[in-house]
Amino acid sequence: MGWVSPTGYNDPDNAWTNEYKAYDENLVTSSYATSLGHYLELTRPAVNCSKVRQYDIRDYGNYPVNCQIDVYYGGAWHNIYSGTPSTGVWVEFEIGSTQSVTGYRYKPISSPASSYIYAFEVDFWEVEAPPQAGRSFGFIMG
């Protein structure tokens, strides 16, 4: 298993530009918003996931941005991080358990330099599916 990318996006407030660049496998390109407080949701088919990672969320002055990060599973969004992650590196966020995740969203809350916010790459950590309960595996001898 390993890191897998989102395959789509939802921009509920139409606040972001070039949304697809948040998962285009290019650490130089980014999506961006011109104001704080708007979610960018990145989606994919369900994946058994235990953590997510984000490469660089920063403002126009290259300062880190205080943000909220959520993942979608079990029919609801679940907050897994609120704070100011480092810039220019991959930062991993643990979910706390393995879940069937279909979305990742982030919302910039505050920024020291400007309201232009840049969001680079996002990935999901895919883990092997757990065995299904109630199934038995055995051999028939004959």
Give me the DSSP letters along 5-61. Answer: ---EEE-TTS-EESGGGGSSS-SS--EEESSSS--EEEEEEEEEEEEEEEE-EEETT
Domains in the chain with CATH codes = 2-125 (2.60.120.260)
CA distance 123 to 92: 9
Residues 73 and 103: their CA atoms lie apart, in Å, by 8
Kindly report the pTM of this predicted structure: 0.87
d(CA 22, CA 31): 6
Each residue's pLDDT, cut to its tens digit, for the chain (142 residues) gives 899 999 999 999 999 999 999 999 999 999 999 999 999 999 999 999 999 999 998 998 888 999 999 999 999 999 999 999 999 999 999 999 999 999 999 999 998 877 799 999 999 999 987 655 554 444 445 5
Write down the pLDDT at residue 136.
Answer: 46
Residue 142: the pLDDT is 52
